[in-house]
Amino acid sequence: MTNHSETPGSSENGDISQAARPEGAPRTPHEGPGDEHQVTLRTPAELADALPYLLGYRPEDSIVLAALRDRDGRGRFGGRARLGIPASPDDWAGAAGQLVHGLVTGSERRGVRPEQMVAYLCQEPRRGETGRDVMERLRPLAQKLRVECGALDIPVVEALCISDGRFWSYCCDAEACCPAEGLPMGPPGTSVLAAAATYAGIRVRGSLSELRVRMLPREDAVAVEQAAALDATAATLVSRILDAEGRAEVAEETLESAERIMRRLAEAPSVSGVPAEDLRDDGLLGHDEAAALILGLQDRTTRDRAAAWMEGDEAAPALRLWRALARRCVGPYGEHAAAPLTLAGWVAWSAGDELEAREALAMALGADPDYLFARLLHQACNEGLDPESIRRCLREGREGGEDATDAPSDGAHGGPSAGPEPAPPSANSASGGRRRTRSPAAPRAVRRGVRAPGRESGIETGRPRTSSGAGRSGPARTDRPRPRSSGAPVAARKGTGPKGVGTAGHGSQGDDERA
């Protein structure tokens, strides 16, 4: 499992009253969203309805924990964490421990230890199953979550199973409020919380699969053509990058091409619907153009200069371009997706879309677990750091006009020169903690070489992908010089990195079901 936080926005978006309830009465109320527009939720039904608003999307095949803490005599939602439900029950104990300890550790790092928990298990029935069958099958997992929380003296005040449009409580067996056949979920968007969330500007962005699909590598006939273009471009581009003068020329060509395509994207007529938007962008990007950009961005300094397209009118077309390039990292070029995915995550985070940022950065780590830039940004985003300090450095580098080739090397893994290198990702990552030794002076595209068609890709076709939402539309900015070397420091502690559950600033991490 590759894990990362999925907690959008503030971790303090609701209260849970601690008032005693009568025997048999519904339990665990919640107030949210927002500090100014509070809605009290007092029943399991209301808690079930609140889940998409806690995460910002509708989870699928997921374990979700929401931490609660006392504030002025009332409970308040703290960090939230999600992890895919392992396929084998043998892995449930480990997953429960990872999620619980990660959420508690992350909350304590922020100085707020959870006092109670609400647990959710979300899974659709398999063939021949009913929602109640799912609830019963997952009951041992719910118990393991309760035991793990209890071992830390944190009671689970409610544990819900959501399946097939219904929900069940594992904490209440009163037929009057929690019947054995479960209760139907209300129609989406019809609850008081939905109205309050809409008023507060909180949106639910569909399911995780809908969020992720925008950066999946293509798997159609076009993918074969793109792979051929990548092979042909690499045959000519790599030799130029090996030469110092040629490397500088390739960097300029890469950035000029990116600027040109961003203007093309910004000027394209709008279409309705996310799939149509991505198809339009794919049609505006030629195979040879995409290949040259993908390979050119493997050079760390070129990538850092491109990272300066992060705000204003440049952010939206830049994000669209990075997504489109990620979709073009097909077949044996899956590992090359780390660069555009990291840029997409950075732009999304800079524009305030933490959900897409975490998804894109986790995908970048799935493509290349050793990609330092993605690891540092992933940790910073998960720990709730303000991206303004990084933006400031990028602006200064851009306005200073330093030559990108003069930027200090970031070592072997394609990240910025930002101090000590963090520890490898979690043992659950694709690499299993492996590390590579590379020459700091050589560009990534040259060090990795051209992958033979038969070599295994570094990215899975089922990797998570996310939706858009960052940045503003409009023409690309042309009144500023092309971004120069960033040298952007990204805060990181020595010996830490996106180690899966436990590093998130809003609790823990837990996405990407690779159980």
Q: What is the 3-state secondary structure (H, E, C) of 185-234?
A: CCCCCCCHHHHHHHHHCCCCCCEHHHHHHHHCCCCCHHHHHHHHHHHHHH
- Here the tokens at position 17 are 């009253």
Q: Is residue 475 reached through a cis peptide bond, with omega within 30 degrees of 0 on the bond before it?
A: no
pLDDT at residue 93 greater than cutoff 80: yes
- The mean predicted confidence, pLDDT, of the chain is 74
Q: Whole-model pTM above 0.75?
A: no
Sorted by sequence, the CB contacts under 8 Å of residue 381 that are 6+ apart come out as: 5, 345, 349, 354, 357, 358, 361, 387, 505
| % the chain with pLDDT above 70 | 66
CB 81 within 8 A of CB 102: yes
pLDDT tens, 231-275?
999 999 988 988 888 899 999 999 999 999 999 999 999 999 889
Beta bridge partners of 288: none
- Here the tokens at position 150 are 């209890």
Sorted by sequence, the CB contacts under 8 Å of residue 387 that are 6+ apart come out as: 346, 349, 350, 380, 381
Q: Which of 374-378, 395-399, 475-479 has the lowest mean pLDDT?
A: 475-479
Q: How many residues does the chain have?
A: 515
- Give dist(CA 118, CA 59) in Å, integer: 15
More confident residue, 187 or 31: 187
